[in-house]
Amino acid sequence: MLHSITRHFGPRALAMILIVMTVAGCATLPPAQPTRDLQAITGKWEGMLSLRDGRTLPATMTIKEDGTWEFLVPALSNPGPRFVGSIAIVDGQYRSKSDTTGRAATVTLHAGDGKRVLGFINDDGSSSAALKPAQ
């Protein structure tokens, strides 16, 4: 399965899956959930941001009911540590756009067995994130 993911989506997707599995603290990732509405992903999330240069940094994200979000990465200073943007449902999936960097991303909610993981993969491969609901 991992070989198939790497072949089809590339090594960034494999890295994202491994980060998500680590953050979620589970051996397998819960199933991806259908994109229905923004309410399913609103709230405060925490986890790790993985950068193209290999760094993995703690991050938090707050998503409001209108889809606007704030992403905080305390260890970044240029252009961080605060990023803002919005999420919308486009062609049946969550799509995010950063007002800070201009980058777009695909967002996927994974949920099952009492676990929820929100995964982000930037279209340009510059970063990905795996977040779980904040405690």
Q: What is the CA radius of gyration of the chain?
A: 14
CB-based contacts of 94, cutoff 8 Å, min separation 6: 35, 41, 87, 88, 106, 107, 108, 109
CB-based contacts of 88, cutoff 8 Å, min separation 6: 67, 94, 95, 97
| Fold of the domain built from segment(s) 2-133 | Lipocalin (2.40.128)
Quote the pLDDT of residue 54: 93
If 0-12 CB within 10 Å is exposed, 13-18 middle and 19+ buried, where does residue 2 land? exposed
Convert the pLDDT of each residue in 41-95 to its tens digit: 999 999 999 999 999 999 999 999 999 999 999 999 877 799 999 999 999 999 9
Q: Bigger pLDDT: 134 or 8?
A: 134
Quote the pLDDT of residue 15: 52
Per-domain boundaries in the chain: 2-133
> In this model, does residue 18 exceed pLDDT 60?
no
Which alpha helices (H) appear in the chain, and where do they start and end?
2-9, 11-24
> In this model, does residue 2 exceed pLDDT 70?
no
